[in-house]
Structure 1
Amino acid sequence: METVRSASGGDPRRWWGLVVIALAQLMVVLDATIVNIALPSAQRELGISDTNRQWVITAYTLAFGGLLLLGGRIADLAGRKRTFMIGLVGFAVASALGGAATGQGLLFGARALQGVFGALLAPTALSLLTTTFTDGRERGKAFGIYGAIAGGGAAIGLIAGGLLTEYLDWRWCLYVNVPVALIALVGAVVFLRDRVGRSHRARLDVPGVVLGCGGLVAIVYGCSEAQPRGWDDGLVVGMLVGGVVVLGAFMWWQTRAPGPLLPLHIVRDRNRAGAFLTMALATIAMFGMFLFMTYYFQVVLGYSPVKTGLAYLPMTVSIIVGSTQVSARLLHHLPPRALMVPGGLLAAAGLFLLTFLTAEPAYVSHVLPAEILVGLGMGLIFMPVMATATAGVAPRDSGVTSATVNTAQQVGGSIGTALLNTIATSASTAYIGSHLAASAAHTGGRVPRGVRDGVVKDGVVHGFTVAIGWGAAIMLLAAVVAGLMVAAGAPKHDAGAGAAEDAPGAADVSPR
């Protein structure tokens, strides 16, 4: 079998391979948000009720977050390049089905199918990146680009969703994935190489798949249902408690499984566990911000879909600058937590600035500086988190490790959306109720329509600011976790990679 030159050996196609990986990752990440702005149009055309419209989002996040660990292990067992290509084809087919949907059932099903194939693509993309770039300096650049896409993809999705919805049709928010996936598929055939383990005894951990995926799906579903039902609802409590119990059983089984889905040595490492937890906490706050600012722009300020998407552009640019110009240049000189902690503090400061928003337009004075701070902060967090989480991992475990990073991000985003939206709704309801009662008492029982509308708008913004304040506190917690759990030493990419390759059962490099 012909041996392929390593990335550090100068294979000129490795950077084109990075382009292919970046395309696939961008498609998966932005698909979590690209339909947000298009959702009102899809709801009107397909007759989706207010109760069921959430499934356009949660069908994707449930399948994606719940199956990521399985996707990572499949990549390790079946081959990363092969799994990557299957994921691209499946994602394109699911996107085409969603774009052609004639009813809500087909749309929900297509979104879930996108999540299934996204769960194959996301960990495989990061795994391929990890095994392609083993030189420390080159890996820093590659992770900088990847981190910018992972961090900015959600905002890019909002911009793309606004443009496609306003100038074409909401269906193109799904159709657009088809040509992107086909381009990435051709690039994968030409440019990507794989590292495949030699172990013939590796097998899929079926009980681990059922327990791990079931527990994650239960928790994400419980959080998603907390918005319409309330946190004290029996179903919500049962799903959350049941999910925790099932995940406990999953961890117990992983200590006894002959071929565990998630080798526990991956999460026992303090640096890696700190990186996973930092990622989850940071995305809780970030996804909450996306949700509230989208409604603030469209409902409170009356922005069009395009203007709403473009309003996020400064944050997208800031994330890219933070990842590629700051993190990528400094990671091989500084310990990861020296970037993560300042990043968390910057992002928390930006979120705190948004707690002073009112119903009056304040884009230049409040929103713009907040977006820049949050963007720079997340750029400083994403890249070192991913580099730390995957440093020194044996090639045979790189897929499941990459999946765990993505799981932390996706589950964190799902929990953040549900948790912070419940806080915002409760605060808005309390504000509107108390102020309308005070106005009624002052006017003798009848509140003028203009006064009522003003109170409602103020109440909506008040709910947003309360929830964003909680988001700022959670972002501060992410900075504390990074400072306490991630060690002072920088990740030793070269040594880690080499050690991994020398380990028993490590993979060789061969064309695939």
Structure 2
Amino acid sequence: MRWKALVFIALAQLMVVLDATIVNIALPWAQHDLGISDGNKQWVITAYALAFGGLLLFGGRIADLWGRKRTFVTGLVGFALASALGGAAQGEAMMLGARALQGMFGALLAPAALSLLAVTFTDAKERAKAFGIYGAIAGGGGAVGLILGGFLTEYLNWRWTFFVNIPFAVIAAAGAYFVIREPAGSRNRSSLDIPGVVLSTLGLVSLVYGFTRAESDGWSDAVTVGMFVASAVLLLAFVFTESKVRSPLLPLRVLLDRNRGGVYLSLGLAVIAMFGLFLFLTYYLQVVRGYSPVTTGFAFLPMIVGMITGSTQIGARLMTRVRPRLLMGPGFLVAALGMLLLTQLEINSSYPALILPAQLLLGLGMGTAFMPAMSLATHGVQPRDAGVASAMVNTSQQVGGAIGTALLNTIAASATTAYVAAHAAGATNAKLLQAQAMVNGYTHAIWWAVGILAAAATIALTLINTGVPGSAAPTASGSTEGAEDEVQIPVVAH
């Protein structure tokens, strides 16, 4: 029964992850059909990101309080309805509203899915296999979205990038309702922390919007700076509130465990690098090389193959034998090596000789690292906190994605402008110069991504000190969190 449950949990997670990229390829066609202005087109992406990122902690705590299965099914049904609304959109307002609703229900769905996995698979070996599959989907779903988005846009219609979610959601919701059995006694019976909900939601929305606006309006823009200041104030107030209230939205014990803190931080950094890469490679292949949407999607297949292999064949097999940091640290370093290859990108770089091996290394490294990270983020946490601990994983990824897109795109744009200014005088072909400048910008930003991945590896190797899952040997930090609940969620020795 547990493995049947995994099928429906994985299907729902795939739907949420691929939705982050599937709409990107369809955006130009949707913008044209619906008459969305250039100034507002980013809101098709931003409306989803703000609602999803801002409400994740709230969604995670709702799962703990209301029940994970109930929250999961509600999230799926709501996501399907919002997707139908988006596919049927007749104008800009309807589209943006549908995207915001998708984000809201996604914020219910994503943490409920991961926390269901955490409380369902308690045996170390079974947990390794389950999280191997989940990690592969979480890491590779974005690339799957590019392939599916390309197919649907090129051969059907951009509206199908929304409608495709409906069968995913219906199958997952029906399966979850009849198959998933939430362990008894794992729900949190405390009251909801309303001040925490308000402060965390406003703080995360300000942070995500700040980075989104920085990408389009610049880092010195008054509103951008104001958003960052507001975010810092709100999130500090949130932390202070959580330390004082009786039933906090995010118990600080979830964050202050050095292993989970290390996972959230290193995973967030890795996603910064990955989201930037998706953006640059998509533009490089379509704009510089002239690939069609479908061909571009298939060009990402090696990364998907690498992620599935790294997650299910390397991470899952070694997770019960070696410490998580010895998978995460080297995994991020292998990914950094793949990224390092892409710093050699030129206008006519060979796909088989350069881009393919780089993607394989990236996929292998990320798949190997994501798998223990996903498991460790919820392992050892008390069942009553599983939802909010899962939400923190999604939050670190969502915030990392917003930072990666804005930060690396800004670096690339600055390097592109500088290259054009330096070479314009002697240029004889303006189109060639622009292409060379774009590639130069991408390689500059990819160097930053290499450094970010190296930082993620360093954090994983130094902060994460837990032992082999299922072993009883204590480590230096000596944490005993979750010991009282080890029948339901066995404790990783901290």
Provide TM-score, normalisation by structure 2: 0.95
Aligned counterpart in structure 1 of residue 444 of structure 2, from 466, 477, 485: 466
For the pair 1:212 / 2:200, whether they are aligned, the reply is yes
For the pair 1:85 / 2:73, whether they are aligned, the reply is yes
For the pair 1:177 / 2:155, whether they are aligned, the reply is no
Percent of aligned pairs with the same amino acid: 59
- What is the Cα deviation at residue 40 of structure 1? 1.4
Residues 1:225 and 1:154: Cα distance change in structure 2 (over 3 Å): same
Give the distance between the partners of 1:185 and 1:88, measured in 2 at CA. 6
Query: Comparing 423-432 with 144-153, which one deviates more in the overlay?
Result: 423-432
Contact 1:98–1:111, Cα closer than 8 Å, also in 2 = yes
Aligned counterpart in structure 2 of residue 130 of structure 1, from 118, 121, 127: 118
Q: What's 1:121 paired with? A: 109
- What is the Cα deviation at residue 494 of structure 1? 9.2
Aligned counterpart in structure 2 of residue 349 of structure 1, from 322, 337, 343: 337
Q: What's 1:292 paired with? A: 280
Give the distance between the partners of 1:506 and 1:323, measured in 2 at CA. 25
Contact 1:344–1:475, Cα closer than 8 Å, also in 2 = yes
Letter of the 1:309 counterpart: G
3-state DSSP of counterpart to 1:360: coil
Aligned counterpart in structure 1 of residue 308 of structure 2, from 290, 315, 320: 320
Contact 1:392–1:493, Cα closer than 8 Å, also in 2 = no
Q: What's 1:139 paired with? A: 127
Contact 1:331–1:384, Cα closer than 8 Å, also in 2 = yes
Give the distance between the partners of 1:76 and 1:20, measured in 2 at CA. 19
Q: What's 1:191 paired with? A: 179
Matches within 5 A, 1:473-488: 473-487=451-465
Give the distance between the partners of 1:241 and 1:183, measured in 2 at CA. 43
Give the distance between the partners of 2:457 and 2:65, measured in 1 at CA. 35
Aligned counterpart in structure 2 of residue 378 of structure 1, from 359, 363, 366: 366
Matches within 5 A, 1:20-419: 20-195=8-183, 197=185, 202-419=190-407
Give the distance between the partners of 1:289 and 1:190, measured in 2 at CA. 40
Give the distance between the partners of 1:464 and 1:199, measured in 2 at CA. 47
Contact 1:197–1:506, Cα closer than 8 Å, also in 2 = no
Contact 2:187–2:384, Cα closer than 8 Å, also in 1 = no
Residues 1:493 and 1:99: Cα distance change in structure 2 (over 3 Å): farther
| 1:399-456 C-alpha deviation (Å, 9 max, x unpaired) | 00000011111110111101111111111111112211x22xxxxxxx65xx111111
Contact 2:65–2:188, Cα closer than 8 Å, also in 1 = no
Query: Comparing 329-338 with 385-394, which one deviates more in the overlay?
Result: 385-394
Contact 1:223–1:236, Cα closer than 8 Å, also in 2 = yes
Q: What's 1:5 paired with? A: none
Give the distance between the partners of 2:190 and 2:300, measured in 1 at CA. 45
Give the distance between the partners of 1:344 and 1:506, measured in 2 at CA. 31
Q: What's 1:433 paired with? A: 421
Contact 1:124–1:402, Cα closer than 8 Å, also in 2 = yes
Give the distance between the partners of 2:472 and 2:208, measured in 1 at CA. 37
Aligned residues: 484
Give the distance between the partners of 1:506 and 1:327, measured in 2 at CA. 23
Give the distance between the partners of 1:502 and 1:489, measured in 2 at CA. 19
| 1:147-195 C-alpha deviation (Å, 9 max, x unpaired) | 0000010011011101111111111001000011001111011110113
Q: What's 2:2 paired with? A: 14
- What is the Cα deviation at residue 264 of structure 1? 0.4
Residues 1:63 and 1:494: Cα distance change in structure 2 (over 3 Å): farther
Give the distance between the partners of 1:308 and 1:198, measured in 2 at CA. 44
| 1:236-271 C-alpha deviation (Å, 9 max, x unpaired) | 111012101110110000001121000000111101
Give the distance between the partners of 2:57 and 2:249, measured in 1 at CA. 7
Give the distance between the partners of 1:488 and 1:74, measured in 2 at CA. 29
Residues 1:506 and 1:150: Cα distance change in structure 2 (over 3 Å): closer
3-state DSSP of counterpart to 2:183: strand
Contact 2:332–2:457, Cα closer than 8 Å, also in 1 = yes
Give the distance between the partners of 1:200 and 1:369, measured in 2 at CA. 47
Query: Comparing 101-110 with 138-147, which one deviates more in the overlay?
Result: 101-110
Aligned counterpart in structure 1 of residue 435 of structure 2, from 442, 457, 469: 457
Contact 1:195–1:395, Cα closer than 8 Å, also in 2 = no
Letter of the 2:16 counterpart: V
| 1:303-322 C-alpha deviation (Å, 9 max, x unpaired) | 00100000000100100000
Residues 1:186 and 1:488: Cα distance change in structure 2 (over 3 Å): closer
Letter of the 2:200 counterpart: G
- What is the Cα deviation at residue 50 of structure 1? 2.0
3-state DSSP of counterpart to 1:255: helix
Letter of the 1:354 counterpart: L
Give the distance between the partners of 2:132 and 2:302, measured in 1 at CA. 18
3-state DSSP of counterpart to 2:192: coil
Give the distance between the partners of 2:179 and 2:382, measured in 1 at CA. 23
- What is the Cα deviation at residue 199 of structure 1? 7.4
Contact 1:321–1:376, Cα closer than 8 Å, also in 2 = yes
Give the aligned CA root-mean-square deviation in angstroms: 1.9
- What is the Cα deviation at residue 46 of structure 1? 1.5
Larger radius of gyration: 1
Contact 2:119–2:488, Cα closer than 8 Å, also in 1 = no
Letter of the 2:448 counterpart: W
